[in-house]
Amino acid sequence: MKKQLLSLLLLLCCSISLYAHKQHMLQKITNHNIQFIRCFFTDLVAHLKEIMIPAQHIENAIDEGLYFDGSSIPGFTNIYESDMHLTLDTNTFRSVPTCDGNVGVVICDNGYGPGKPYDACPRNVLKQTMQKAAHLGYGLYVGLEIEFFLFDNNTKATCDTLGYCDREPCPLRAAQKRSLLQTLQQYGVDAVKLHHEVASGQHEIVINHHNPLVVADQIILAKHAIREWASQNNLDATFMPKPIFGQNGSGMHIHFSLCDINTGTNLFYDPYNSCGLSQTAYQFIAGVLKHIRELDAIFNSTINSFKRLVPGYEAPTYVCWANKNRSALIRIPEFDHDCGAAARAELRCPDALCNPYLAFTALLEAGLAGIQYQEIIPDAIEQNLYRLSPDEICTYGIQTLPTSLQHALDLFEASTFVQAIFSQRLRSEFLKAKNNEISLFNRIVTDWELKRYHHS
């Protein structure tokens, strides 16, 4: 009887919360004189999709959802089960100023109908894993560094020749960069920092730490906002991991920690440990190290991703961890050991073409497995890994990350761990999409081949 009453109480609280969010969204639409709402969602490989609706139909869309043809989006459904449904997450609604008035933006979950979630919806998958962690008393916190290149639309060259954290000498470009931060803020992206990166035309934004669902939503919106801003400024923004041969590539470094779901205490912190990290932190990191190779197709999901993961460009190639060392896969950033809230680790292999919902799911599942099975973390490797000989790498027992998308997919497909955390539908659709990508690439004649073999 008590369980039934508790379930009813939780259902009532949920209904009240949903109603409050709906009313807040409707009020905001009225107050901001919003005429149109853009309903965003992603496919398995993080392509942003949208359905736009007039404001007068938004209440019905909130109550009933929106239907679309899932068979027309790779990775969703077959033609004989094509009808799919979007549920608007009213908690994600924001008003975005444009040149012709305010436009509403809301993020959606996809399923088969109201109350019928789709087991290959990346956002739903992440929410389920977060609920699993919450039942165990854990909450994941993540922060992001997203790198990208800007190219001049006229010259097709990088927009500048500056280096790491260089000051922008051109007042016009400096004003443009300030407007980029403003655009991100308008989209509700909590960007705490923008600076120039190592390569010409390369920039980085830092997204503040929050729960993974909030941050994943912000990644999707940030990429859209940056591309939109670039287009308005006669620039082309790309999150391609390796757009220029011989230059540093662009990554999406994930800073992560675990908190107590009830108190908010950082469970990664131990003031008595020399690194400031707890046993829980070491077990979580050990779980990620153990499963990273079979999960790498999620974190590095394109053919181009593996052209970034080569020695010498601050991108990891070896499966190990270190304190501060940026050549390691996972490093422990410097933090004040008197400030436990800042204790965290950084995963350096992902890039911004991954699906952030799936990436955070993979990270959390691997870490939870490390805690559950009390995995032992290997010794930290503090040397510059790029300078170690193959014999030294072998002596340390260090594995390498996959060297190609095909290699990563083979490990993904064969993994019993992957089978345990992702549904059969998600795995098969993801593999189908990525194998099709490889098949197409293998048939393309590249400029390199023409230069290499044309006169052979």
Query: Which active-site residues does the annotation give?
Result: 69, 145, 147, 197, 204, 253, 326, 346, 348
Angle 171-186/212-232 helices, nearest 10 degrees?
140
DSSP state of 445: P
**Distance of CA 288 to CAs 137, 140, 374, 385, 401, Å?**
19, 14, 12, 19, 13
Q: Are strands 138-152 and 116-117 parallel, antiparallel or unpaired?
A: unpaired
Q: Which amino acid is at 126?
A: L
416, two tokens: 């019993």
* Positive or negative: CA dihedral 155, 159, 103, 97: negative
- Alpha-carbon distance 141 to 212, whole Å? 6
Beta strands in 99-227 (DSSP E): 101-113, 116-117, 138-152, 191-196, 202-210
Sorted by sequence, the CB contacts under 8 Å of residue 389 that are 6+ apart come out as none
- Alpha-carbon distance 268 to 303, whole Å? 34
Angle at 72 between CA 224 and CA 218, to 5 degrees: 20
325 within 8 A of 331, measured Cβ to Cβ: yes
SS3 438: helix
51, two tokens: 């359905």
352 within 8 A of 221, measured Cβ to Cβ: no
229, two tokens: 């801003």
Beta-bridge partners for 107: 40, 89
